[in-house]
């Protein structure tokens, strides 16, 4: 793992929400055979990689707290997504998720978490682990809570409409 305190040069990053940005939001997704990529999503991640930015995923996964699936299912899905991205030479530098929810039915996951968006915990944890140039970084989300998390972490945030992610993202990469 990289350490932000090292001598590594800082690089900008794009923080992606997952459901509704990289893949269609079908509600409590954990099976790869149900994942439908958003148009241009894989190409958008490749564009981020090719520009030299870090690519991160930050996703609330309250389905764990609700007893609908396990953390292992999220990790398997993220591994599968990484393989699919690898087919076009793209990669995510880190997947972060929050399995907690204050109204969860699984007791060990029923709590308020600093990592659950709109709190900035997942973003801040990544900023502590990677040498990120915050000023030129941004988050792409599909919900106001995503943008609130970005603001709380000192990031610009952009609301994605759900059409083509690559077309949405390219002008933002040139602007940053």
Strand partners for 42:
none
Q: Which residues are catalytically annotated?
A: 17, 19
């Amino acid at each position: 793992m990289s350490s932000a305190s090292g001598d590594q040069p800082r690089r900008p990053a794009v923080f992606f929400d997952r459901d509704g940005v990289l893949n269609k939001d079908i509600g409590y997704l954990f099976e790869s055979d149900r994942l439908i990529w958003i148009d241009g999503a894989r190409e958008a991640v490749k564009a981020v990689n090719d520009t030299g930015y870090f690519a991160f995923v930050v996703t609330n996964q309250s389905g764990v707290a609700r007893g609908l699936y396990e953390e292992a299912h999220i990790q398997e899905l993220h591994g599968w997504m990484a393989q699919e991205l690898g087919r076009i030479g793209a990669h995510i530098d880190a997947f972060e998720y929050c399995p907690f929810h204050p109204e969860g039915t699984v007791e060990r996951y029923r709590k308020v978490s600093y990592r659950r968006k709109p709190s900035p915990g997942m973003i801040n944890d990544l900023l502590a682990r990677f040498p990120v140039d915050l000023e030129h970084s941004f988050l792409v989300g599909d919900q106001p809570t995503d943008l609130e998390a970005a603001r709380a972490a000192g990031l610009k945030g952009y609301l994605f409409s759900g059409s083509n992610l690559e077309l949405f993202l390219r002008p933002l990469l040139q602007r940053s």
